[in-house]
Amino acid sequence: MNSRAKSVSLTRAIASVFAKELRVEFRSFELLTSTIVFALIVVFVFSFAFNPSAADSRRFGAGFLWIALLFASSLMLQPSFTRERANDSLAALVLAPIDPFAIIAGKLFANFFFLILVELILLPAFSVLYNVPLLGIIGPLAGVMLLGTFGIATVGTVFAAIASQARMRELLLPLLLLPALVPLLIASVGATMGLLSDSRELPSAWVAVMVCFDIMFFTAAWLFGGYLLEE
């Protein structure tokens, strides 16, 4: 064969796209900065609007935390595909001899990583503003945050790919994303609320819902992700 190209394994292609996403973001910090500031503002505004007591925080804090994350994630996920449009670089990715799912997955894992970074800053601020001690529940809380964030990143990346091809792409993503994430939001809030309660128990039913949600949407992304990138 004249061409010196050869097929790349799925994991290697995902790793290449993931590394590229990180490199591009860490050059500008555009997404991370705006998302972190936005998430902090939401938590801050809720705190002042409701002026919650310790009991209120245990009851409603989990909801405020996940709503802040959800709004912030819709801000972060939007450019995931739209910024590929400026130079049509997405076409170069699709043109490469890799499984199209590698493009979706590379971006998905990058978005997941960025959202985790946002949470690392958001959680201490939440703990202080809402007077909720998190140190005693840090292990199970980390598990809940990882599961919830993975679901947001999965659905968000897939819908960002869909929205990027639409004419009103800036408006479309939140309209698609927020309703689709309602089951995950309910489960994440339920699980977090259990951890913030006096008993500090992790409700296994909500965790099971989150695991099922993540597996279902990740599998759907794997099966149908390639179609999302076609013109």
- The site for another protein (CB under 8 A) is made up of 1-8, 12-13, 16-17, 20, 23-24, 27-28, 86-89, 91-99, 230-231
Residue showing tokens 């004419």? 167
Q: Which is nearer to another protein, 2 or 199 (CB)?
A: 2
- Closest CB 121 distance from another protein, rounded Å: 23
Distance of CA 226 to the CA centre of its chain: 20
- Closest CB 1 distance from another protein, rounded Å: 5
- Closest CB 5 distance from another protein, rounded Å: 4
Residue 48: CB atoms within 10 A of its CB come to 8
209-217 contacts at long range (C-beta below 8 A, 24 or more positions apart): 209/183, 209/184, 210/144, 210/147, 210/148, 210/151, 210/184, 211/147, 213/151, 213/183, 213/184, 213/187, 214/147, 214/150, 214/151, 214/154, 217/151, 217/154, 217/155, 217/158
- Closest CB 26 distance from another protein, rounded Å: 9
- Closest CB 228 distance from another protein, rounded Å: 13
Q: Which is nearer to another protein, 51 or 87 (CB)?
A: 87
List, in order, residues 6 or more apart from 143 with CB less than 8 Å away: 202, 207
